[in-house]
């Protein structure tokens, strides 16, 4: 960043942002393997730095500090993704235990289609249809409004219908016992 001056902290942070944002996003991409998450992680890291800017700007190596924040955020994201994959695997393995002859291609198709949904839509569909939660309980679980649950579930089901066909999607809604048995 160069020698420290008595520059306005906001202007100094803006300069730091301009110099390091692309590098931090690239680091996040390389750490997580997720191009679409890289910008979010870099932005989250820079927001955290802004909240501690007095401490960061006094550090010997502010850019190294910023890279450390990105690494920690990436690690948290990876751990969350691993936990989510384990929960999904457990859910599907339990589902399979109760099926006489599982339609493996259909299960794989549904899993793949669910993974392609954005998290909130996926969560709404799974909570509403796999766990048979009410709209209210789903809203409480996710910390969103009932209206958002309704709209996200509806949109998600429309996307699943496009990906899987209307028969398979309606089978998901109508066949809750397959999700939970």
| Token code pair at residue 170 | 């309606």
pTM for the full model?
Answer: 0.45
What mean pLDDT do residues 143-157 have? 92
Range(s) of the domain holding residue 72 = 9-79
Pick from 33-47, 83-97, 108-122: least confident: 83-97
Say if 97 falls within a structural domain. no
Judged on CB neighbours under 10 Å (0-12, 13-18, 19+), 41 is buried
* Residue 73 within a domain: yes
In a domain, 117, yes or no: yes
| SS3 of residue 6 by DSSP | coil
Q: Which of 2-11, 109-118, 138-147 has the lowest mean pLDDT?
A: 2-11
pLDDT digits (tens, 9 = 90+) for 39-87: 999 999 999 999 999 888 888 888 878 888 888 888 888 778 777 777 7
Give the separation between CA 49 and CA 66, rounded to whole angstroms. Answer: 7
Three-class secondary structure of residue 59 per DSSP: coil
Query: Domain check: are 74 and 14 in the same one?
Result: yes
């Amino acid at each position: 960043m160069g020698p420290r001056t008595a520059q306005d902290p906001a202007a100094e942070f803006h300069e730091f942002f301009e110099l390091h944002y692309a590098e931090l996003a690239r680091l996040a991409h390389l750490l997580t393997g997720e191009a679409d998450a890289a910008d979010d992680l870099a932005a989250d890291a820079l927001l955290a730095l802004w909240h501690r800017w007095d401490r960061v700007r006094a550090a010997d190596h502010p850019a190294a500090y910023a890279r450390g924040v990105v690494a920690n955020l990436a690690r948290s994201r990876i751990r969350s993704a691993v936990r989510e994959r384990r929960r999904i695997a457990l859910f599907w393995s339990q589902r399979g235990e109760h099926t006489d002859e599982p339609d493996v291609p259909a299960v794989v198709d549904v899993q793949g289609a669910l993974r392609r949904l954005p998290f909130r839509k996926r969560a709404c569909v799974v909570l509403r249809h796999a766990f048979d939660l009410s709209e209210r309980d789903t809203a409480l679980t996710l910390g969103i409004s009932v209206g958002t649950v309704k709209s996200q579930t509806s949109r998600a089901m429309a996307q699943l219908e496009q990906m899987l066909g209307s028969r398979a999607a309606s089978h998901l809604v109508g066949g809750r016992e397959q999700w939970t048995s």
